[in-house]
A and B are shown apart, each in its own frame.
Chain A
Amino acid sequence: MIKFEDVTKIYPPSTVGLERVTLHIEKGEFVFLVGPSGSGKSTFIRLLIREIEPDRGRISVGGRDLDTLHSWKIPHLRRNIGCVFQDFKLLSNKTAFENVMYALVVTGNATNSSKKKAVEILSLVGLGHKADSYPHELSGGEQQRVSIARAFVNHPPLLVADEPTGNLDPDTSMGIMQLLYRINKTGTTVLMATHDREMVDRMRRRVVQLEAGRVVRDQKRGGYGED
């Protein structure tokens, strides 16, 4: 599903984002990306959705080589990657329902059944009753659930979450975690960058640890720290 081959990203003038990272993630996996602040987790994700380009190395996602991907095809790439951001990135002048609809309409095949789909997914994340609320009327955890609903409404083969529980309380975090877990159960590959030690330890999933832009650990059923 995801292949990083010897990828290096240097932010000008000379800040190391990622350094010689080689990493393969298979279809259907659930992978935690951990590491201290500034270790390159967000850089990894931004490379994945072609928000930025690597200085060296090759990246392919779902069989597409990002190196040779025409810029007009980037939207298609992104529609196949559901993205959840730490700061939610919801459209502030749209309701929860409209935010989810947006992801459906951009694909160009929104139909009458799309509305039903959006309502259903909002119910799935437990926000059926807040569909008409604007982001500023929602709590952080609720906003994050809207953004997960938006990321998943197209049933993308890959879901990427950059610290989705970053500023949520432990219970809410656990709820979000469970949501991602259920999404993974439907066959969607899930990659999640996080600082949440307790959660990583509890889930016992594959853990990739970054430090100063390098992969320092890759463990099949790991915890947050070294065992």
Chain B
Amino acid sequence: MIRNGAAMGKISFFFKEAFGSLRRNYFMTIAALVTVFLSIVVLGGVLVFVFITDALLAEVEEKVEITVFLKTDPDPTADEVSAMQAQINTWPEVKNVTYVTKEQALEQMKEDYADSPEIFESLTGNPLPASFEISLVDPQTVDIVAARFEGDSIVDEVRYGKEVADKLFAFTDQARNFMLIFIVLLGIVSILLISNTIRLSIFARKREVEIMKLVGATNWFIRWPFLIEGITVGFVGALLAAAAVLAANHYLLGRVSDNLAFLSVPVDAVPYILVTIVLLGVGVVIGAIGSAIGLRRFLRV
């Protein structure tokens, strides 16, 4: 019981020390807070950007479909068509196949050009081809699947926006690598800045630390308040940053979807809770590592 009481007393003592020192050195505290805030705002911005581009890409990828136009002169027989459809359905890459008949194609076209029905006046018969529309499980397999139709006797043409798809994939891969590097660099910079801030604040209290040691304080007894200081700064900075990033995201997303209807970012593209937790975690870790580095040199008395 007594030991327990003593431990509690020690913990509350550490917190009192940490907050007292944060208050006394308020200038340092604000400097460190701003540093953490800015780093984590950038990190959070990148994170939100990743989520949004991911959501957009997912949308675009959804739209990477293969359209297989069948020959028209002569049109393939119903048997040939159903054989091909069955064949396509056995491929594991394929998510969904739809057969669009010549008549459906014409209907669709009439719908699309409902404003100018004169186009269809001179039309005799139905010149449009039937087609298969194929969506894929993994859009990256588009090349492989498309190649299988080459030389098929009833296939006229395969379309799948090859260049667009290829470029898009190359871009997303690159963007992801780039952002990863950026985030790592940013993390290092903020740890250095915080450790420096803590080091300065310890340096200012070098004499105090010396006295503490002479009075019989262990290294950990001296360390804890500083660690709590660093972690508090990291946590509060991250909390403010998370609030700022999410508020900005909310506001901008609203503006974008008001003005650019075609860029439909799903409302839940950015998981707010996850982002907040990640940013807070990063803030706490940065604060802890920063103060640990800042402390290291001063406790070798």
Contact = CB atoms under 8 A, between A and B. Distances in A.
Interface of A: 49, 51, 72, 75-79, 83, 85, 89-93, 102-103, 105-112, 114, 150
A91 B216 contact: no
Greatest chain A CB density within 10 A among B5, B13, B218, B219 is at: B218
B9 interface: yes
What interface size band does chain B fall in? Answer: 20 to 34
B215 A103 contact: yes
Contact of A78 (B20, B214, B219): B214
A58 B219 CA distance: 26
Contacts of A79: 215-216
Contact of A91 (B3, B13, B208, B219): B208
B217 interface: yes
The binding surface of chain B is classed by DSSP as helix
A102 B219 CA distance: 14
Interface string B189-231: 0000000000000000000101111111111010000000000
Contact of A150 (B3, B5, B215, B217): B215
Contacts of A93: 20-21, 24, 208
Contacts of A150: 215
Given A91-B208, A92-B208, A93-B24, A108 B10 contact: yes
A51 B300 CA distance: 11
11 contacts: A79-B215, A85-B214, A91-B212, A103-B215, A106-B217, A107-B216, A108-B10, A109-B3, A111-B2, A111-B9, A150-B215
B6 interface: yes
Contacts of B213: 75, 78
A110 B9 CA distance: 7
Interface string B266-301: 000000000000000000000000000000000001
A65 B152 CA distance: 93
A66 B24 CA distance: 38
A85 B301 CA distance: 18
